[in-house]
Amino acid sequence: MNTISHILEHLTTGADLSTPQAREAFDLLLTGEVSPVQAGAFLMGLRAKGETAAELSAAVDAALGQAKLIPGLT
C-alpha cells in the first residue's frame, strides 16, 4: 500500500493527520503524484472530518515548498 493509501485509510477513521502525514499528502497532491480520484478522496476526507490548524499549516508549507521565485517580483 502506498503512502497516499495509508493516509486515506487513516482519514476514514476520522482521525487527524500528523503534520508529517499532512505535509506528505499535500506534497504528493501538489506534484501530481496522486490520481484525481485519490486527490478528491483526500480533500473530501479532510473536509468531512474538519481540517486542523496543523493540517492547514502543512498545506501552506507544501505550497510554499513548490513556489517558484519570479525574478523582479521580490
Q: What is the pLDDT of residue 1?
A: 57
Measuring CA to CA, how many Å separate 45 from each of 6, 18, 30, 50, 69?
A: 13, 14, 17, 8, 32
- State which residues of the chain have pLDDT below 70: 1, 74
Q: What is the pLDDT of residue 40?
A: 98
Please state which architecture CATH assigns to domain 3-66: Up-down Bundle (1.20)
CA separation for the pair 40, 56 (Å, rounded): 16
Q: What is the pLDDT of residue 12?
A: 96
Residue appearing with cell numbers 482519514: 11
Handedness of CA 37, 6, 49, 16 (dihedral sign): negative
